[in-house]
Amino acid sequence: MEEEAQILESLKAFEKDFLWLTENKEAVRKEYKNEYVAVKDGKVIETDKKLDKLIKKLKKRGENPAELVIKFIPEKDFVVIW
């Protein structure tokens, strides 16, 4: 049961950070356009222009990238039409 509670807590934190990034995307874009950002606890904790470098930075900080919201922030939003 304890493991399930930890998983649920991690999922809730991930969802909260995802929503924060969605709600603050324009402010984040102004500062971090064309970069990958990692979000934790409602703030950007690390950035880089290359995903592999960002992941290395996060691991060096002791963070597990699989538990963080990581997203590329394009200069402009775009829509893909199929």
Q: Strands 43-48 and 35-40: what pairing? A: antiparallel
Distances (CA, A) of 5 to 1, 63, 68: 6, 20, 18
Dist. CA 41–CA 31, nearest whole Å: 18
- Within 10 A of 64 (CB to CB), how many other CB atoms are there? 9
Lookup: tokens for 24: 């603050």
**Is the pLDDT at 79 greater than 80, yes or no?**
no
Residue bearing tokens 């970069």: 35
Per-residue model confidence as pLDDT tens digits over 23-68: 999 999 999 999 999 999 999 999 999 999 999 999 999 999 999 9
